[in-house]
Amino acid sequence: MKLTGGAIVTRALEDEGITLTFGIPGTHNIELYDALAESDSVRTVLVTDEQSASFMADGAWRASGRMACVNLVPGAGLTHAMSGIAEAFMDHVPMLVLGCGIRRDVRRAFQLHDVDQEAIARPVVKATFRPDTGRDLYGTIREACRVARVGAPGPVFVEVPVNLYLFKHDVDLPERPTPKATASLNPEAVADHAAVVRAIDLLKAAKRPLLYVGAGAMDALEQVVRLAELLDAPVSTTFQGKGVFPESHPLFLWPGFGHTAPAFVRKIADNCDLTLAVGCRFSEVGTGSYALEPKGPLIHIDIDPDALNRNFKADVAIAADAANALDQMMSLLGPEPRTPDANRRANIRAGHEEVWKSWLDDVGGDRVTPAHLLRTAQEVFGPDAIYTTDSGNGTFLALECLRLDTPRKYLAPIDYSCMGYSVPGALGAKLAMPERPVVALAGDGAFLMTGLEILTAVQEGVGAIVLVLRDRELAQIAQFQSTALNRKTASAVHEYDLKHFAAAMHVSFFIIDSDDSVQDVLRQADAMAREGRPVLIEVAIDYSRKTYFTKGVVKANLHRLPFRDRMRFIGRALVRRVTE
């Protein structure tokens, strides 16, 4: 059959089960957009900035497990989208970055948008592709999507020269396959049996094992719970792994177990004599600037061999799919669980209760208490709600205050930690999971970067709720500055009027200026969002109480300094406190 390049690429997207593309059309890919208009299953979403396109595709996968596409014009389209692509690369989010290229069928120099796109993209994608002929288009797109999904997932870049879109090509396309519904983490990555046996020997010798579980275990939820109960092991998660282990379970500790966790968590973790880490990398942010140490021997399971033995030497390292490895381990452990340690479970329960009591003691002040806001949000929006955050204080407040029993509900830019994620990430999540409430927690500085995507929400009928946490500072940095330096520099956010911004974007607007108004405003917002209407809410947030993360990171980095420099930092802060 003879098809245009746009029709061939559209067919490949359909066969991959990709239903969402995000981008801005340009002169090089209008033929592709014309073909996409004929598709019954692929939806094109116009964004205000390509950075948001990549964040939306990221949010769509994190919320649903279904890969999305970023549809880019050459040059500026790619460079604008690079922040979100790099975030996906660092956080292992599969994504098809469908770039367009200059004409390769003419020998003309200085073409519009002509830069070396593959060289630009290569450091932050798993692989780059450029089909040479129209006959290569379908297979190239399908192979790129396979690479994005397989093993440790991530973004891939495909550059389609514009001439392949302009003309028709003779192609033989296969019968329509069953689309891939999820981004599989390659369950065929089988654990080495000998390594599993060594791990079992260590587990049986340990009296008080600790489980540390990351997002790489999202396809092994049942196995993680069963293993924790077999071992009677307390469970800590990574930040991206929040919800992989149910946070209502009596063995749930905290996201992290080092200096960035409460005292009761550190005490219980310090008493453990083995660490079993599953689907995690011990990254800087997740470990609170490497402020946690595995307890006792370390068994480390991850599908990515490069993640093993990097920051911590493992006594047993297993490169395998988490579900496969844990199934093997439990078959060797046997079905009889250890006797539950009632005293330890009571200490975990009492520790969480004390933390919440401490947080809620702040309720009733002049501004909005974060723990009260987030607990009430969970009561109003229900257990299925998805929360997106931005790089900054909101990420760590949500991490500590939300209680989630399944993953894919806490979407945060972690290892690349890119500001501007929350609003477009929420729109991508809502488009992928329209039946679920979606709430963006945007800092007032980060909102200035991508808040215009509220207009995209209006255009697409996306009933997302955006909470702008207003303290008129870049809160996370301002807290680091005030703690470490006793001075704030260039971290104040200039006053701006959200009410008039909301009016300009044609969205409903509310203000939450006290704890008393939280529930009523959130209920009104929920009713509007369920009708497909985006809602913007200004929250007078109280950041006076630092998160456990902030305090722990400052402490960890200060203690890591040589003694002379540590004294210099402390002395400078003390002098400024007295003199300034």
Q: What is the arrangement of strands in the sheet containing 386-389, beginning at the earlier edge strand? A: 410-411, 386-389, 438-443, 465-470, 535-540, 508-512
Range of the domain at 299: 193-347
Q: Sorting pLDDT into bands at 50, 70 and 90, what band is 181?
A: very low
The rounded distance, in Å, linking the Cα atoms of 265 and 281 is 20
239: Cβ contacts below 8 Å, ≥ 6 apart: 255, 256, 285, 286, 395, 399, 412, 414
Q: Write down the residue that tokens 């073409």 correspond to.
A: 111
Pick the closest to residue 348 from 405, 265, 228, 416 (CA basis): 265
Q: Sorting pLDDT into bands at 50, 70 and 90, what band is 188?
A: low
Pick the closest to residue 440 from 373, 402, 400, 394 (CA basis): 394
Residues 407 and 342 in one domain: no
Q: Give pLDDT, residue 345.
A: 98
Among 102-106, 420-424, 501-505, name the one with the lowest average pLDDT. 102-106
Pick the closest to residue 220 from 315, 306, 320, 311 (CA basis): 320
Q: Sorting pLDDT into bands at 50, 70 and 90, what band is 179?
A: low
pLDDT in tens, 432-461: 999 999 999 999 999 999 999 999 999 999
Asked whether residue 561 is assigned to any structural domain, the reply reads: no
pLDDT in tens, 366-414: 999 999 999 999 999 999 999 999 998 899 999 999 999 999 999 999 9
Asked whether residue 567 is assigned to any structural domain, the reply reads: no
Residues 478 and 511 in one domain: yes
Contact 170, 150 (CB under 8 A): no
DSSP sequence for 67-95: --EEEE-TTHHHHHHHHHHHHHHHTT--E
Q: Write down the residue that tokens 């929006």 correspond to.
A: 381
Query: Residue type at 312?
Result: F
Q: What average pLDDT does the segment 533-545 reach? A: 96
The rounded distance, in Å, linking the Cα atoms of 4 and 13 is 14
Residues 32 and 117 in one domain: yes
The rounded distance, in Å, linking the Cα atoms of 256 and 366 is 31
Q: How many CB atoms lie within 10 A of CB 172?
A: 7
The number of helix segments (H) and strand segments (E) in the chain equals: 22, 20
Q: What average pLDDT does the segment 250-256 reach? A: 97
Residues 378 and 269 in one domain: no
Q: What average pLDDT does the segment 37-45 reach? A: 97
User: For 416, what's the count of Cα atoms within 13 Å in the CB-facing half-sphere?
Assistant: 20
Residues 377 and 525 in one domain: yes
Asked whether residue 201 is assigned to any structural domain, the reply reads: yes
Residues 489 and 530 in one domain: yes
| Number of domains into which the chain is organized | 3
Q: Sorting pLDDT into bands at 50, 70 and 90, what band is 180?
A: low
Asked whether residue 341 is assigned to any structural domain, the reply reads: yes
Q: Sorting pLDDT into bands at 50, 70 and 90, what band is 232?
A: very high
Residues 407 and 314 in one domain: no
Q: Sorting pLDDT into bands at 50, 70 and 90, what band is 183?
A: very low
Among 152-156, 472-476, 511-515, name the one with the lowest average pLDDT. 472-476
Residues 159 and 293 in one domain: no
Paired tokens of 178:
């069953």
Supply the Cα-derived Rg of the chain in whole angstroms: 25
Q: Sorting pLDDT into bands at 50, 70 and 90, what band is 182?
A: very low
Residues 124 and 159 in one domain: yes
The rounded distance, in Å, linking the Cα atoms of 83 and 419 is 9
Residues 366 and 343 in one domain: no
The alpha-helical segments, DSSP class H, found in 130-211 are 137-149, 162-166, 193-205
- Of the three residues 291, 317, 347, the one that is the final residue of a domain is 347
Q: Assess whether pLDDT exceeds 60 at residue 26.
A: yes
Q: What average pLDDT does the segment 506-527 reach? A: 97
Residues 376 and 317 in one domain: no
CATH of the domain at 34: 3.40.50.970
Share of the chain above pLDDT 70, in %: 98
Share of the chain above pLDDT 90, in %: 80
